[in-house]
């Protein structure tokens, strides 16, 4: 049986109230509008979820984004409600893009070579974009686990270091004597997670899959080379192992910013379903 037009209108209006920040640099508006591509009268609810074509328009600058979405019905209530970590990452990316726009784009438009200061700046912005990705991966992973007992158990069960024999001194046990077992375990899990390096994406992929049950977006390997560049920028003064200067242009920087933004947005929606 198909759903009535009124029911779909109610659903669409509900979706419109779930706002998310506009990704356009310097804009403080929200993407709020949605349209349905299909015959509302004859579509089933499953068809609605599988075939929806979403059109988001910023209520301030008019920026438009179109998406074809396959929504998991079990998490539809959480869909499009960004986490604070996504919002923080988006704010950082917007700031990076604004700095780039104010200091680099004028030279790019008239094809003037970047001076030494601009070359230094573009490397810092590039590295900071990857650092934003790493920070999101770590913050989202750790806080999702620490707020869910089942995920704490999943971490203890699946994380490699938790499977090894772990020894605690009498002093450590004494210092924790006022805590219950659950608090003791949570504190140890927090300590282990703080030691995880979240720029090793192959390991991060396994952690998200095994512990959260979440797949990283399919293009995660596209960030392996940018992560290596980020390492050379911040740890080798912008040069590779052979001493060659890392060369980055404004187009490459903007492409990375958008890729990270889209990646984080997609992953955040998956995490919200856990």
Domain boundaries of the chain, sorted by first residue = 5-75, 84-272
Q: Cβ(252)–Cβ(230) under 8 Å? A: no
What b-and-e string marks burial along 190-201, b requiring 16 or more CB atoms within 10 Å of the CB? eebbeebebbeb
pLDDT digits (tens, 9 = 90+) for 237-257: 889 889 999 999 888 999 999
Amino acid 89: pLDDT? 92
**3-class secondary structure for the chain?**
CCCCHHHHHHHHHHHHHCCEECCCCCCCCEECCCCCCCCCCCCCHHHHHHHCEEEEEECCCCCEEEEECCCCHHHCCCCCCCCHHHHHHHHHHHHHHHHHHHHCHHHHHCCCCCCHHHHHHHHHHHHHHHHHHHHHHHHHHHHHHHCCHHHHHHHHHHCHHHHCCCCCCHHHHHHCCCCCHHHHHHHHHHHHHHCCCCCCHHHHHHHHHHHHCCCCCCCHHHHHHHHHHHHHHHHCCCECCCCCECCCCHHHHHHHHHHHHHHHHHHHHHHHCC
Q: Give the residues of the chain that fall short of pLDDT 70.
A: 1-26, 31-56, 63-82, 106-111, 161-182
Position 197 scores a pLDDT of 85
- On whether the pTM is more than 0.75, the answer is no
Check residue 19 and give its pLDDT: 52
Q: 133 with 256: CB under 8 angstroms?
A: no
* Per-residue confidence (pLDDT) for residue 169, from 0 to 100: 67
Percent of the chain at pLDDT > 70 equals 62
pLDDT value of position 190:
85
Q: What is residue 170's predicted lDDT score, i.e. its pLDDT?
A: 60
> In whole angstroms, what is the distance from residue 233 CA to residue 240 CA?
8
The per-residue pLDDT for 153 is: 87
Q: For position 82, what pLDDT does the model report?
A: 59
What number of residues does the chain have? 274
């Amino acid at each position: 049986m198909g759903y009535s037009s009124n029911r779909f209108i109610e659903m669409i209006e509900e979706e419109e109230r779930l706002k998310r920040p506009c990704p356009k640099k310097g804009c403080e508006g929200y993407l709020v509008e949605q349209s349905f591509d299909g015959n509302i009268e004859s579509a089933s609810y499953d068809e609605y979820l599988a075939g929806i074509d979403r059109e988001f328009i910023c209520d301030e600058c008019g920026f438009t984004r179109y998406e074809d979405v396959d929504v998991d019905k079990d998490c539809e209530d959480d869909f499009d409600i960004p986490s604070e970590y996504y919002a923080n990452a988006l704010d950082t990316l917007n700031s990076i893009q604004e700095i780039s726009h104010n200091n680099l784009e004028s030279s790019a438009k008239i094809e003037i070579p970047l001076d030494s200061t601009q070359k230094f700046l573009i490397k810092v912005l590039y590295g900071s974009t990857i650092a934003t990705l790493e920070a999101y991966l770590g913050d989202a992973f750790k806080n999702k686990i620490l707020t869910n007992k089942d995920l704490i158990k999943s971490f203890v069960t699946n994380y490699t270091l938790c499977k090894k024999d772990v020894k605690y001194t009498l002093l450590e046990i004494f210092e924790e004597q006022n805590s219950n077992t659950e608090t003791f375990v949570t504190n140890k899990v927090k300590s282990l997670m703080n030691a995880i390096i979240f720029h090793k994406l192959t390991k991060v992929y396994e952690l998200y899959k095994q512990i959260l049950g979440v797949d990283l977006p399919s293009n995660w390997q596209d960030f392996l080379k940018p992560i290596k560049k980020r390492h050379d920028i911040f740890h080798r003064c912008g040069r590779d192992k052979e001493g060659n200067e890392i060369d980055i242009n404004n187009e490459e920087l903007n492409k990375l910013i958008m890729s990270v933004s889209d990646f984080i947005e997609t992953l955040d929606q998956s995490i919200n379903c856990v």
